[in-house]
Amino acid sequence: MTFLETAWDGLKHLLGVKDNKAALRAIFEPVAIVLVTFASTTAIAQPFYVPSGSMQPTLAIGDAFVAAKYPYGYSRYSVPFGIGPAAKGRLLQTMPQQGDVVVFRLPRDPSQTYIKRVIGLPGDRVQMIDGRLWINGKELSLASDGQGKDEAEDGTITDAPRFVETLPNGVKHPIYKWGWDGPGDNTRLFIVPAGHMFMMGDNRDNSLDSRWSEEQQGVGFVPVENLVGRAEFVVGSYDFLNAHAFWTWIGEFRLSRVFNGVK
């Protein structure tokens, strides 16, 4: 008996099978499952989790959502762990639209994954003046929309002023806005470079985004290459910040958020 035959018999013994077909099935079935899972999370969709309140009221702390990979094409960041060569463009590239909620790798630290709303595309001029967003020299429409529930990172929930903002392409989306003279309410004029995007959080006074540069430990302009996918819908939501006593744990599941679209 050759070394390979001895090794094969030993492997069958470890797998608890006797014939060759059963051994091959025992080996290749889990391999196939891994390959299908890898392919689906690379090419189709991937689940993510929201750890902060920067995208409230659109996404709550504790939301689990699915991001579609295919809308913008593919780059090295479409692959788990960012495996692959760097490139300025994307395979089958399509640019996002203003108002899309996207997942991307943080330019200054690609190991970190962020989610924000696309506000500016290449060539756009973006500025905050007295807490109002201006794009290409025009102040965006902002309509009062009552009150919302803003959850802080310590679990405290506070009534927050809610507004609906209308982007130049007609997309309407909600924001929380507490004041009009905070650190991010009066900025310089940003001109979005080619191949980049300008991102902002919907919780305008509690979002570290493109209003702050990489040198300020912010987001800065985001290269198109860094896109991971477009947020599509919430698949689960749990208010872990307020799940203190074990008998309250079940009540912290937010079933009303499940299958909500991300818009």
Q: Could you give the domains of the chain?
A: 3-41 (no CATH), 52-257 (2.10.109.10)
Contacts of 225 (CB under 8 A, 6+ apart): 75, 76, 77, 86, 87, 88, 89, 90, 195
pLDDT value at position 255?
Answer: 86
Residue range 34-55: average pLDDT?
70
| pLDDT for 217 beyond 70 | yes
What H or E segment, with its residue span, contains residue 14? helix 3-15
Is a pLDDT exceeding 80 seen at residue 4?
Answer: no
With a cut of 80, say whether residue 193 has pLDDT above it: yes
CA distances (Å), 187 to each of 51, 95, 182, 212, in order?
27, 26, 10, 9
Mean pLDDT of the chain: 85
Q: What is the pLDDT of residue 8?
A: 43
- For 66, 148, 173, 238, 262, the CA distances from 258, given in Å and listed in that order, are 11, 18, 19, 10, 11
CA distances from 160 to 129, 147, 157 (A): 21, 5, 9
Distances (CA, A) of 219 to 6, 43, 118, 209, 210: 57, 26, 12, 5, 5
Strand boundaries in 91-187, DSSP class E: 101-106, 109-120, 125-129, 132-135, 138-139, 141-151, 157-166, 172-176
The one-letter amino acid at 31 = V
Three-state secondary structure readout of 140-154: CEEEEEEEEEEECCC
Top-confidence residue, 126 or 19: 126
* 262 phi/psi in degrees, rounded to 5: -95, 110
Q: Would you please indicate which residues are annotated as catalytic (active-site) residues?
A: 54, 116
CB 147 within 8 A of CB 140: no
Helix (H, G, I), strand (E, B) or coil at 202: coil
* Cα–Cα nearest to 232, from 66, 99, 51: 66
Residue 64: phi, psi to the nearest 5? -110, 130
pLDDT bin (cut points 50, 70, 90) of residue 44 is: confident
Pairing of strands 63-68, 141-151: unpaired
Residue 254 binned pLDDT confidence (cut-offs 50, 70, 90): confident
pLDDT at 239: 86
Which two three-digit tokens encode residue 8? 């094969």
Query: Which comes out higher in pLDDT, residue 144 or 44?
Result: 144
Pair 71, 94: CB distance under 8 Å: yes
Q: Per-residue pLDDT for 215 more than 90?
A: yes
Please state, for a pLDDT cut of 90, what percent of the chain lies above it: 67
